[in-house]
Structure 1
Amino acid sequence: MSVTNDLVPHATSRRRAQRMSSILRYINEHGSARLTEIAQELGVSTATMRRDLADMDDQGLLIRSHGGARALDPATEVAVQLRDSRFKDAKLRIADHAARLLPEGQYSVAISGGTTAAAVARALTSRDDLSVATNALTTAAELATGSNLTVIMTGGFIRFNSLEAVGVLAEKTFSAINVGTAFLGTDGISARGGATTHNEIEARTNHAMVAQADRVVVVADGSKIGRATLAKVADLDEIDVLVTDSSADPDELTAIAAAGVDVQVVADALADS
Structure 2
Amino acid sequence: MSNPVVLVTGAAGGVGRALVKRFIQGGWQVFTTDLSTEGLARLQSEHPACGIFAGDIRRPSTCTAVVAAALASFGRLDALVNAAGVWREGPVESFSEEDFDLVLDVNLKATFFMCSAAIPPLKASAGAIVNISSDAGRQGNRNAAAYCASKGGVTLLTKTLALDLAPCGVRCNAVSPGDIETPMLKFQAEHYGQGDPEGYYRELLAKYPQGDRACFIQPEEVAELAYFLCQPGARSITGADMAIDRGVSAGN
Q: Structure 1 length as normaliser, TM-score?
A: 0.38
Greater RCO, CA 8 A, separation 6+: 2
Structure with the higher fraction of residues in helix conformation: 2
The TM-score with structure 2 as length reference comes to 0.41
Q: Which protein is bigger by CA-based radius of gyration?
A: 1
